[in-house]
Amino acid sequence: MSRMMTFSYDITLNFDNPVTDHCFVLRCLPTDSPEQQVLDAALTLDPPVTFSHQQDSFGNRLQIGRIDGAHDHFHYRAEGTVLRDGTAFIFEPDRPLFRYPSAFTAPSPALQAKAKELALPCNLRDKAWAILEAVQTHMRYVPGVTDVHTTAAQAFELGQGVCQDYAHVYLTLARLLGLSARYVSGLPEGEGASHAWCEVWLDGRWVGIDPTRGRWVDEGYIRFCTGRDFSDCPMERGTFLGRANQCQTVFMQVREQ
């Protein structure tokens, strides 16, 4: 089934003191793939500055720029239309780098013990789902107890976290149990904040699975970027000069056209 989805993604960074020499790298535009055709997509910035388009080694779209003058905020808005069709996939070779631990998914003794105690079916799709159920049983969704620097081991020890933590715990267990799995940042249908989920390599193709919401990914999800973990695909990253604290506000909306 195909669905035409419109999206908007609105981020504002407010600084309590002016900053300068602000360099930024964004990954806030979706990528084309057989199951995801980007029909149109635009990015607007405030302060208005020019930016370049590049691509990283995972195929993610990058928007890179610099704001030299003093400013007390940075606002960007991405919007566009995507045609999603989960049946329009292609078969791809496995990528071994998605089988090994990464910066955020290094397994702790507790995660290794959890992987050993799981009684898993032989079928790969059923195995991927059983790992999701194990993550859902162990974790509780609690905002504010973790941050973007929290690793899978730390989140697993807490037993709490948000979508990024669920994804990292899932990736760690999946890789320990022999699956190739990667991290995904993007937008789900509805409104609120951006989201993170996983993809597992099953029978020659990447299949999306959402350990936070406990479901397989469908045409209501728009993929922006993929990587080994969050460190490979943050939707915004930057540096600036100045003594300032920052406050971020986020709002996104995805709906069927």
| 3-class secondary structure, 104 | coil
Banded model confidence at residue 86, pLDDT cuts 50, 70, 90: confident
Report residue 160 as tokens.
């709490």
Taking CA atoms, 28 is separated from 23, 172, 224, in Å, by: 16, 25, 6
pLDDT in tens, 21-47: 999 999 999 999 999 999 999 999 999
- CA–CA gap between residue 248 and residue 21 (Å, rounded): 19
**For residue 226, pLDDT beyond 80:** yes
Q: Give me the residue label for tokens 């702790």.
A: 108
Mean pLDDT over the full length of the chain: 96
- CA–CA gap between residue 72 and residue 16 (Å, rounded): 7
Tell me the β-bridge partners of 66.
23
Q: Is the peptide bond before 34 cis (omega within 30 degrees of 0)?
A: no
**For residue 135, pLDDT beyond 80:** yes
- Interval 77-87 mean pLDDT: 95
The answer to whether 165 touches 143, Cβ cutoff 8 Å, is no
Kindly report the pTM of this predicted structure.
0.95
Banded model confidence at residue 192, pLDDT cuts 50, 70, 90: very high
Residue 107 DSSP symbol: P
- CA–CA gap between residue 206 and residue 163 (Å, rounded): 19
* Domains of the chain, first to last: 2-86+235-256 (2.60.40.2250), 96-232 (3.10.620.30)
**For residue 151, pLDDT beyond 90:** yes
Quick one: which of 133, 188, 190, 191 has its CA closest to 166?
133
Residue 185 DSSP symbol: E
Report residue 26 as tokens.
């964004």
Report residue 184 as tokens.
């995904």
